[in-house]
Chains A and B, each alone.
Chain A
Amino acid sequence: MPKGFTWTTLDVDKFATREMYGKILAEIAPTDNRIVVLTSDLMMSNKTGDFARAHPERFFNFGIAEQNMMGAAAGFAISGKIPFASTMAVFASLRCAEQLRTDIAYPNLNVRVISTHSGLSMGNGGTTHHSTEDIAVTRSMANMTVIVPADANCCAKVVVDSLEYQGPIYMRLGRGAEPIVYKGEFDFKIGTANTVREGDDITVIACGICVMAAIKASRKLEKEGIGVRVVDMHTIKPLDTDVIVKAADETGRIITMEEHNILGGLGSAVGETIAEAGLAVKFKRLGIPDIYSTIGQPDDLYERYGLDANGIYESIKEFV
């Protein structure tokens, strides 16, 4: 393996959420014959190969033609199927923006768009493969539910719950090396945020990989006498505004944290909620500061943009 190359897109072990996505689909498929799985030449990378081997008749590889795949997903949905269509986040949300909006969200179809490699998780792939606009794009589509699971267990819950959920879902998976946030049994409901750490001095509202970074910082700060509440806002839309208002009321300081441009994503959604509630709080958005992200290994990029445990720790220290 070349120097400095710590993982490949074909590497199974480190891709927890994407691996889980493929595995859980294969597992639940026998219980629901509405499930079909679509990919665009990324079967190896998004781990839908498990499903393909177990249920080849319900697996469709569209080659490198994402727009056609999304249109066909709409076709499956109007035929009563529940299509899970996956490709990299940057292609799902930008190349296929119109198919998502016009063919899937506007007719309100039960398509599950599973976007992988979101945020900075493509690391040295650089800006062409980073996806830092997809939350903004998809949450502005009426009817669309937008979910960013924090770990593989949360991802599995979304896949299972989505079978009984009405309307389109955009689920954003990251690098897949996400540390596990949820162990054992845990409550999960689409649209209901999980408060994963209690604290009264400041609240970090995070999604995806940022949740664990915030938890780590919260643990460290607890020893320094600072109570950091951590909210896993796994569903960006519909947004759990009650949790935000409560946090604003009780902690007076809010930092949002996302692997996304600070414009249009979780930070914007939270900011809109606080402003409309008429609350005066100290507020900061952590994310990519409206620039095109640079090349580097994901962990180096998270450090660069302050999205690792140390980054959020420093931000909180500056804030309280």
Chain B
Amino acid sequence: MREETLRLQDKAVDIRKWIIELSQIAGGGHLGGSLSMVDALVALYYHVLKYDPENPDWPERDRFILSKGHGALGLCPVLCDVGFYRREMMDNFNDLDSPFGMHPDMNKIPGIEMSTGSLGHGLSVAVGVALSGKLDQADWRVFCLLGDGECNEGMVWEAAMSASHFRLGNLTAIVDRNGYSLDGPTEEIMALEPFAEKWRSFGWACHEVDGHDMDALLEAFDKAGDAAGDSPTCIISNTVKGKGVSFMENANEWHYAGCDDELTAQALDDLEACRLERG
């Protein structure tokens, strides 16, 4: 297990560095929220999810929906790295007619299950996918990654209510709880706490984890319900916005921003240092 943890931690550093590099190509991006969710994404795509990059429509695959669609900058390098497309495809990120932009498009990017970007929508779509899976008595599962700020949206709670009503044990929501939305700390802008209690009162099993502790994430995904289960699971992944880059951590001006060459070099150094620190 230790070896697997190290492999995943290494991968998380690689992906974070790639996000910084990609944001340079793209002329900026949602850095804070992309960096915060990397460990959960890595746990999912390199350990938990079943999928086949050679056959993105493989019927038996697990489904992943990025409800916080502005995290495309974080998801696209992962999909590339696991083999859905070549790195060169992202060379024109954000340019005219590029498949890659601020938000992911299912009809342009292999491996993207659903076009997202409008906050609050993803969990409802995931409910529909999970209902479809149950109807077909399928073994595959559905995972949906939300931002914490987007849980201000009423539609999230409509979806939460329906997921437990329909007993969607095949559905797992992960909330990237980095504590900030665009305008500031979530508890100042529109308070979410007691957050876990809210999910539990909506009929979900809810686990809170340190979203940068790979072993804790894997354990939480292990505990998440199986396809035949009755209760949907929410994993509140407590994270640091801008994780791994000293000057971006909890500095909300990096919600959407770009680095010049000097800051890029520093960011990459900071991230490499994370790897060395870990040993």
Contact = CB atoms under 8 A, between A and B. Distances in A.
Contact of A107 (B106, B123, B158, B161): B106
A68 B118 CA distance: 14
A140 interface: no
Nearest to B132: A79
B127 A68 contact: yes
B158 A67 contact: yes
A62 B107 CA distance: 28
A80 B158 contact: no
B107 A36 contact: no
B240 interface: no
Given A68-B124, A75-B131, A99-B121, A62 B115 contact: no
A156 interface: no
Size band of the interface chain B makes with A: 20 to 34
B107 A78 contact: no
B115 A107 contact: yes
Nearest to A60: B131
Given A79-B133, A107-B107, A74 B114 contact: yes
B161 A65 contact: yes
B135 A71 contact: no
Contact of A78 (B105, B114, B117, B121): B114
A75 B129 contact: yes
B128 interface: yes
Contacts of B127: 68, 71-72, 75
Contacts of A62: 158, 162
B128 A74 contact: yes
Contacts of A30: none
A243 B49 CA distance: 53
Contact of A75 (B115, B125, B154, B158): B125
Contact of A79 (B107, B118, B128): B128
A211 B113 CA distance: 42
Interface in A57-98: 57-58, 60, 62-63, 65, 67-68, 70-81, 83, 98
Nearest to B118: A102
A103 to B, nearest CB: 6
A108 interface: yes
Contacts of A102: 115, 117-118, 121
A201 B158 CA distance: 54
B192 interface: no
Given A60-B131, A62-B162, A75 B118 contact: no
A113 to B, nearest CB: 14
B166 A108 contact: no
Contacts of B159: 68, 71-72
A241 to B, nearest CB: 27
B66 interface: no
A78 B124 CA distance: 13
Nearest to B126: A75
Interface in B43-93: 63
B146 interface: no
B158 to A, nearest CB: 4
Interface string A38-71: 0000000000000000000110101101011011
B130 interface: yes
Given A58-B135, A60-B166, A67-B158, A75 B107 contact: no
A106 interface: yes
A75 B132 contact: yes
Contacts of B162: 62-63, 65, 68, 72
B122 to A, nearest CB: 8
Contacts of B129: 75-76, 78-79
Contacts of B130: 75
Nearest to A38: B128
B228 interface: no
B155 interface: yes
B128 A76 contact: yes
A128 B118 CA distance: 26
B132 A76 contact: yes
Contacts of A99: 121, 124
Contacts of B118: 98, 102-103
A208 B164 CA distance: 39
Nearest to A76: B128
A41 to B, nearest CB: 12
Contact of B155 (A71, A78, A81, A108): A71
Interface string B103-114: 001110000011
Contacts of A108: 107
Contacts of A68: 124, 127, 155, 158-159, 161-162
Contacts of A60: 131, 166
Contacts of A65: 158, 161-162
A272 to B, nearest CB: 28
Given A68-B127, A108-B107, A78 B113 contact: yes
A75 B106 contact: no
Contacts of B124: 67-68, 70-72, 74-75, 99, 103
A71 B115 contact: no
5 contacts: A71-B125, A75-B131, A75-B132, A76-B131, A81-B132
Interface of A: 36, 57-58, 60, 62-63, 65, 67-68, 70-81, 83, 98-99, 102-103, 106-108
Which 5 A-B pairs have CB atoms at the shortest separation, nearest pair first?
A75-B128, A71-B124, A72-B128, A79-B132, A68-B158
Interface of B: 63, 105-107, 113-115, 117-118, 121, 123-133, 135, 154-155, 158-159, 161-162, 165-166
